[in-house]
Structure 1
Amino acid sequence: MNMPANKKIGFIGLGAMGRGLAGNLTKAGYDVVVWDRMPAAAEAFAARTGAQIAAGPAELGAQVDVAISMVPDAPDVRSITLEAGGLIESGNKDFIYIDMSTIDPTTSREVGSALAEVGIKMIDSPVGRGVAEAEAGTVTFMVGGEPDVLSEVRPILEVMSSEILHVGPLGAGSAIKLVNNFLGGGIIATIAEALALGVKSGLTVEQIIDLSDRTGTFNKILNTVLPSKAFLADYTPGFASRLAAKDQRLALKLGSDLGVELPVGDAVMARYAACEEAFPDEDYMGSVMRLVEKQAGTKLRFKGH
């Protein structure tokens, strides 16, 4: 059954990604109620969009047809769902919970199982792409959960996205997001080192990209993403170093749980741990570039920047 726009939606977590996603729901005409652990974030969003503010997750869950969360880490998901004052205490057994956070699949499945015991259905739907796409409603959702539950909330997800990928049962969305972020983190760390090697050899960033355009090393991060930001010396906040490091840790933990050795991942983790310490609230792509710049004693930027 598709949910019409008169259904009420709760949104928990109004950070850089959450406020853009939730904003698209209000633009689409949904009745939205929000909560954030930082009251100022909820107040600012409500003032801008007309959304209501709940006193906490339980109160939010008591009045909605769908509850969505976009919070930083697995402990935050457990807190807003299963702990005192969480969604599980809402008294409402007739809503669907969508977690869009980047967490480990084990937590997704454990939370989903606990909520199912009181009748609450859940899917995990982490997000691909960044803040600009969240605001534009063009993110990619990687969904884990039952097909019939996804069908019920698909119109809501479509308002916030340009692509919805159903990848398997509950937890599969979280798993593929960690795999993707693990891959992206490794690519960025390798790019930084490769550029340092090239620039110290007398080449330019432009020359390295030009050759990549013509060979099998072409990739979106080197050829599109970094040229629009870090190579212009733009280090304004985006996806913070601390969150990149968190995702790398979760991926390494998943590897350990599954018996998969990840020695390259361990080396990449060391890079992000250093970035987390040096640039805790700055764009993680730029942070890796700056970290390697300092260590190599050179600039990894386009001419004039």
Structure 2
Amino acid sequence: MAKLAFLGLGVMGYPMAGHLRNAGHEVTVYNRTTAKAEAWAAEHGGDFAETPREAVSEAEFVMSCVGNDEDLRAVVLGAAGALAGMAPGSVFVDHTTVSATVTRELAAQAAEQGVGWVDAPVSGGQAGAENGQLAIMCGGEETHFAAAEPVIDAYAKAIVHFGDIGAGQLTKMINQVCIAGAIQSISEGLFFAMQAGLDAKKVADLVSQGAGGSWQLANRAGTMVDNEFDHGFAVDWMRKDLGIALAQGKEMGVSLPVTALVDQFYAEVQQLGGGRWDTSSLIQRFRKMHGQDI
């Protein structure tokens, strides 16, 4: 059992930190809104701190799951940041979906004081976090990954090391690119089925048994047909992630035309007031175009 800190208690981080505590680890949490950290500590029997630096005191591993590049910098850097309190030999495990650029920047600063870094973004959404069934894609030195793997296994169904620092973030970009294309095609197919007078749920169930099947089709078709989007991964966050992927593609000279198009479709969903809707709400564009209720 290890002494841990977890920074960021959003819809993902809150249950992830809980799994670590349930596994028997000593866990201290930090959240920008201290009341949430207090609530977590009361529920799980761990401790909370008012700054990242205080939270990581004596921690062997520090996990983070915050919002974006700047949020990550905010909890890592500065006099009250995590690096100011981490001891040489400890390892920072970042579960935030951020750019490979900020990952390499912060990992380099961590290395200067003998702190290891593993970039470990996750896939599986809120349900995956709550059920401890996340797919975790990792980058970093092999020794740091090997040390962290048994700890993060508390909330994982799959953990894979892809290479050096930043490799985990690059893999997460690919994950989001694939999701975006899949949801757009499912939206087109389901709306086509409904307009054709077919039972779209039955169509989705059959298609999911064949070569057209996917996690998105199996888990989101029903709610898409029922016009329900108050769950899952928000459009606002998806646009953040796709922006990271598009910027990385531009830097590499790699064209991502479908991703760029779907990103603009998500912008239209935001304009419909759907920034906090689940990503499967892409189908709402079709309802709007055809004058249907959204």
| Conserved? CA contact 2:58–2:86, under 8 Å | no
Alpha-carbon contact 1:79-1:86 (below 8 Å) kept: yes
CA distance in structure 2 between the partners assigned to 1:113 and 1:210 by the alignment: 48
User: C-alpha distance in 1, partners of 2:130/2:209?
Assistant: 33
Match of 1:164 among 156, 159, 163: 159
Structure 1 residues 5-16: aligned runs within 5 Å: 5=1, 7-16=2-11
Aligned residue in 2 for 1:284:
279
Q: Aligned-pair distance for 1:129?
A: 0.7
Which of 24, 36, 41 lines up with 1:46 in the alignment? Answer: 41
**In the alignment, which residue of structure 2 is the partner of 1:256?**
250
Aligned partner of 1:112 among 93, 100, 107: 107
* Rounded Cα–Cα distance in structure 1 between residues aligned with 2:86 and 2:259: 43
How many Å apart are 1:200 and its aligned residue? Answer: 2.4
User: Mean Cα displacement is larger for which, 86-95 or 106-115?
Assistant: 86-95
Task: Determine the structure 2 residue equivalent to 1:66.
Answer: 61
Q: Which of 197, 204, 224 is matched with 1:230 structurally?
A: 224
Q: 1:17 to 1:213 in 2, by over 3 A?
A: closer
Structure ranking higher on relative contact order (CA contacts 8 Å, 6+ apart): 1
Are the counterparts in 1 of residues 28 and 56 from structure 2 also a CA contact under 8 Å? Answer: no
The separation in 1 between residues aligned to 2:275 and 2:33, in whole angstroms, is 19
Letter in 1 for 2:107: G
- Alignment partner of 1:21 is 2:19: no
Match of residue 126 from structure 1: 121
2:80 maps to a residue whose letter is: G
Q: For 1:248 and 1:187, how far apart are their aligned partners in 2?
A: 14
Q: Which moved more, 1:131-140 or 1:179-188?
A: 131-140
Which residue in the other structure is 2:74 paired with? 79
Q: Tell me how far apart the structure 1 counterparts of residues 222 and 190 of structure 2 sit (CA, whole Å).
A: 16
Shift of 1:61: 2.4
Name the SS of the counterpart of 1:62 in structure 2. coil
Residue 262 of structure 2 corresponds to 268
Counting only pairs closer than 5 Å after superposition, residues 285-300 of structure 1 correspond to structure 2 as 285=280, 287-298=281-292
Mark the runs of 5 or more structure 1 residues left unpaired by the alignment: 301-305
Q: CA RMSD in A?
A: 2.0
Q: TM (normalized to structure 2)? A: 0.92
Query: What is the CA–CA distance in structure 1 between the aligned matches of 2:209 and 2:86, rounded to whole Å?
Result: 59
1:169–1:188 CA distance, 2 compared to 1 (3 A): same
Query: Does structure 2 conserve the Cα–Cα contact (< 8 Å) formed by 1:8 and 1:64?
Result: yes
| Separation in structure 1 between the aligned mates of residue 111 and residue 127 of structure 2, nearest angstrom | 34
Q: Between the two proteins, what is the percent identity of the paired residues?
A: 31
For the pair 1:239 / 2:236, whether they are aligned, the reply is no
Alignment check: 8 A CA contact 1:97 1:122 kept? yes
Going from structure 1 to structure 2, the CA distance change for 1:263 and 1:162 (only over 3 Å counts) comes to closer
Asked whether the 8 Å contact 2:86–2:115 carries over to 1, the reply is: no
Specify whether residues 49 and 107 from structure 1 end up closer, same or farther in structure 2 by C-alpha distance, changes over 3 A only.
same
Question: CA–CA distance in 2 between the matches of 1:210 and 1:96?
Answer: 44
Residues 1:94 and 1:263: Cα distance change in structure 2 (over 3 Å): same
Q: One-letter code of the match for 1:111?
A: L
User: What's 1:176 paired with?
Assistant: 171
Shift of 1:162: 1.7
> Can you give the 5+ residue segments of structure 2 that lack an aligned partner in the other structure?
none
Q: Mean Cα displacement is larger for which, 141-150 or 229-238?
A: 229-238
**Is the 2:204–2:221 Cα contact (8 Å) retained in structure 1?**
no
Q: Secondary structure at the match of 2:56?
A: helix
Question: How many equivalent pairs are there?
Answer: 293
Aligned to 1:55, which of 30, 50, 56? 50
Partner of residue 303, structure 1: none
